[in-house]
């Protein structure tokens, strides 16, 4: 009964966050991919959003999803297959897609409680520090595969943790769960490898360890079938690797993973989050020194596996794949460490700080991506039927998808990119969305501003942080 109450509170919190936050870049791809339009063929001229709603609402076969992933993405298919099945049941909407992640995250919290009980760690602090962890809550509500990969890793941990009777069937199931995490998100493999390594070293039952490893390796051919086809599809997505820069990013994003802010958008808060992370790591080290928990080594290994794995990837592929959402895979193990090691007053302080960060996740515009906010600012001007110019971006998915989803069916919209400039002669009022999310959109926005300023018919009559409003007096005549 107590566990049901805790999960109900968690469900309310996560659902409210999922409802409050505007749509995001990668979520658009999740919806378009499962609707059968991985790269939507947007109209080239001026159009109404109503003409494009089918991009969001269709359905694709599992094979078509797999083929589209192999041709143009860097993710394995397991989450997207599950999302497609979920959309048949819950509907094609954005919020409905997020509810799948919420449901999976509740399963992860239930598994975390089982792990905490098995390791003799206080259950309530462990669950609270996980639920109110910025990175866990963030990845736990977006329509992407992070929550599912997190669930499979925790399931593998729960099945094979040292406190339970470790039978052959548990080893087999744990290996399958850890392998499924990698088939949901390749980066989730690092905590899985930490768990496997710990078992091979600490557990002497060679038969069961053999089953664990064999079940895990059974997923590798499928992983490779996707990965080898995708390995060059996102060239230039991350900056060139530098150890100093990578460590700086780990400190910054690690702080934000605990204390919020999404430094990519929140600017100076990144420094505060980095300092806070440094302090909590010092406190945790001191607490462990004074009263080390029997599971400290295993939990520390699973926590450290994620940043260490990202550094290894960066060194091997000469890029810097470090983001808050990737570090989220380490956060449940860190929460267990904190719950097992910190004294009560420090746990209370940590809880309060994380709770404030999660409130910011739900409500603070600085933690949200600008796509939907730009649409809201355009609509908030209450102009009569303006033409809204939307940057196409580098793929026509992450920028137009959230923006057009937010606009009413009858709005006037045109996508702009090099070689595609709409006819503005019949548009008395124009709103340019100042979304600079990637190199393509930055260049497009700058070119559009220069073009509008150079046109003698156009006069700037208003500006917000994400919009530029133009009066076209030639169209009035």
The strand pairing partners of 460, in sequence order, are: 470
State pLDDT tens for residues 243-277. Answer: 888 888 888 888 888 877 554 444 556 666 666 66
Is 50 contained in some domain?
Answer: no
The residue out of 367, 402, 432 marking a domain boundary is 367
Q: Please report whether residue 20 resides in a domain.
A: yes
Q: Pick from 319, 339, 367: which residue ends a domain?
A: 367
Q: Can you tell me the distance from the alpha carbon of 151 to that of 144, in angstroms, rounded to the nearest whole number? A: 13
Residues 460 and 337 in one domain: no
Q: What are phi and psi of 462, to 5 degrees?
A: -175, 155
* pTM across the whole model: 0.91
DSSP H helices, 203-242, are: 206-217, 220-230
Q: Are residues 417 and 429 in the same domain?
A: yes
Average pLDDT over residues 184-198: 94
CA–CA separation, 145 and 84 (whole Å) = 12
Task: Judge whether 201 lies within some domain.
Answer: yes
Question: Domain for residue 147, yes or no?
Answer: yes
In this structure, the answer to whether residues 323 and 375 fall within a common structural domain is no
Domain identity same for 324 and 377: no
The pLDDT score that the predictor gives to residue 348 is 87
Q: Are 402 and 371 in contact (CB under 8 A)?
A: yes
Q: Are residues 344 and 419 in the same domain?
A: no
C-alpha span between 307 and 320 (Å, rounded): 11
Q: Do 283 and 199 lie in a common domain? A: yes
Q: Does some domain include residue 60? A: no
Whether 87 and 24 map to the same domain: the answer is yes
Residues of the chain above pLDDT 90, percent: 48
Q: Indicate the helix (H) or strand (E) that contains 83.
A: helix 78-90
Residues 328 and 196 in one domain: yes
pLDDT tens digits for range 61-83: 999 999 999 987 889 999 999 99
Q: In angstroms, how far apart are the furthest CA atoms of the chain?
A: 86
Place of tokens 């505060």: 272
pLDDT of residue 277: 66
Residue 114 is assigned to a structural domain of this protein? yes
| 286 pLDDT above the threshold of 80 | no
Lowest-pLDDT range of 26-30, 281-285, 471-475: 281-285
**What are the residue ranges of helices labelled H in 260-323?**
263-266, 269-290, 296-317
Give me the pLDDT at residue 263, please. 44
Q: How far apart are CA 136 and CA 105, in angstroms?
A: 9
Each residue of 377-397: pLDDT tens digit? 888 888 888 999 999 988 888
Domain count for the chain: 2
Task: Collapse the DSSP code of 430 into the 3-class scheme (helix H, G, I; strand E, B; otherwise coil) and give the result.
Answer: strand
Q: Kindly state whether residues 330 and 376 are assigned to the same domain.
A: no
Reported confidence tier of residue 44, pLDDT bands at 50, 70, 90: confident
pLDDT at 23 over 80: yes
Q: What is the spatial distance between Cα 205 and Cα 74, in angstroms, rounded to a whole number?
A: 36
For 171, the 3-state DSSP assignment is helix
pLDDT of residue 182: 96
Measuring CA to CA, how many Å separate 100 from each of 86, 105, 127, 288, 332? 7, 9, 20, 37, 19
Q: Give, in order, the Cα–Cα distances in Å from 283 to each of 116, 133, 136.
A: 21, 18, 21
Q: pLDDT averaged over the chain?
A: 87
The neighbour count for residue 423, using CB atoms within 10 Å, is 10
My answer on whether 329 and 461 are in the same domain is no
**pLDDT at position 85:** 95
pLDDT at 437 over 90: no
324-363 pLDDT, tens digit each: 899 999 999 999 998 988 888 888 888 888 888 888 888 8
Q: For residues 265 and 298, state if they share a domain.
A: yes
Give residue-wise pLDDT tens across range 137-154: 999 999 999 999 999 999
Kindly state whether residue 62 falls inside one of the protein's structural domains.
no
Q: What percent of the chain has pLDDT over 70?
A: 91
Q: 51 in a domain, yes or no? A: no
Examine the fold and report which residue of 367, 396, 429 is the final residue of a domain before the chain moves on. 367
> Residue 306 sits in which domain range?
2-38+73-367
Residues 80 and 204 in one domain: yes
Cα(355)–Cα(54) distance, integer angstroms = 39
């Amino acid at each position: 009964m107590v566990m049901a109450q805790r999960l109900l509170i968690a469900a309310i919190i996560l659902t409210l966050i999922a409802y409050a936050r505007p749509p995001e870049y990668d979520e658009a791809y999740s919806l378009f991919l499962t609707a059968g339009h991985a790269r939507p063929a947007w109209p080239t001229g001026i159009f109404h959003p109503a003409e494009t709603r089918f991009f969001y609402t269709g359905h694709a076969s599992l094979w078509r999803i797999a083929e589209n992933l192999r041709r143009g993405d860097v993710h394995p298919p397991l989450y997207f297959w599950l999302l497609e099945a979920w959309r048949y049941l819950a509907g094609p909407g954005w919020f409905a897609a997020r509810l799948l992640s919420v449901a999976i995250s509740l399963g992860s919290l239930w598994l975390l409680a089982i792990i905490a009980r098995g390791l003799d760690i206080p259950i309530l602090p462990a669950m609270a520090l996980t639920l109110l962890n910025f990175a866990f809550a963030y990845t736990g509500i977006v329509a992407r595969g992070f929550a599912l990969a997190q669930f499979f890793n925790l399931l593998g941990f729960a099945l094979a943790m040292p406190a339970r009777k470790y039978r052959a069937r548990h080893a087999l199931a744990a290996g399958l769960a850890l392998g499924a995490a990698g088939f949901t998100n390749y980066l989730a493999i690092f905590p899985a490898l930490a768990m496997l390594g710990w078992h091979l070293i600490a557990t002497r039952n060679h038969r069961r360890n053999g089953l664990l490893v064999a079940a895990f390796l059974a997923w590798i051919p499928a992983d490779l079938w996707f990965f080898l086809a995708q390995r060059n599809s996102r060239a230039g997505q991350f900056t060139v690797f530098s150890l100093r820069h990578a460590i700086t990013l780990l400190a910054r994003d690690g702080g934000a993973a605990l204390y919020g802010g999404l430094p990519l958008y929140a600017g100076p808060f990144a420094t505060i989050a980095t300092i806070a992370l440094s302090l909590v790591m010092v406190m945790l080290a001191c607490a462990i020194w004074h009263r080390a928990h029997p599971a400290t080594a295993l939990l520390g290994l699973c926590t450290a596996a994620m940043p260490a794995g990202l550094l290894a990837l960066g060194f091997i592929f000469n890029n810097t794949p470090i983001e808050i959402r990737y570090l989220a895979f380490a956060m449940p193990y860190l929460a267990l460490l904190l719950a097992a090691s910190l004294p009560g007053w420090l746990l209370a302080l940590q809880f309060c700080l994380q709770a404030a960060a999660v409130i910011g996740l739900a409500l603070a515009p600085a933690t949200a991506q600008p796509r939907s906010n730009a649409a809201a600012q355009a609509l908030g001007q209450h102009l009569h039927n303006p033409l809204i110019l939307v940057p196409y971006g580098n793929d026509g998915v992450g920028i137009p998808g959230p923006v057009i989803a937010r606009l009413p069916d009858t709005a006037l919209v045109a996508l702009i990119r090099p070689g595609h400039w709409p006819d503005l002669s019949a548009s008395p009022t124009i709103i340019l969305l100042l979304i600079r999310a990637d190199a393509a959109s930055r260049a497009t926005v700058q070119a559009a501003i220069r073009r509008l300023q150079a046109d003698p018919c156009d006069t700037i009559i208003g500006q917000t942080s994400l919009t530029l409003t133009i009066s076209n007096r030639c169209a009035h005549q």
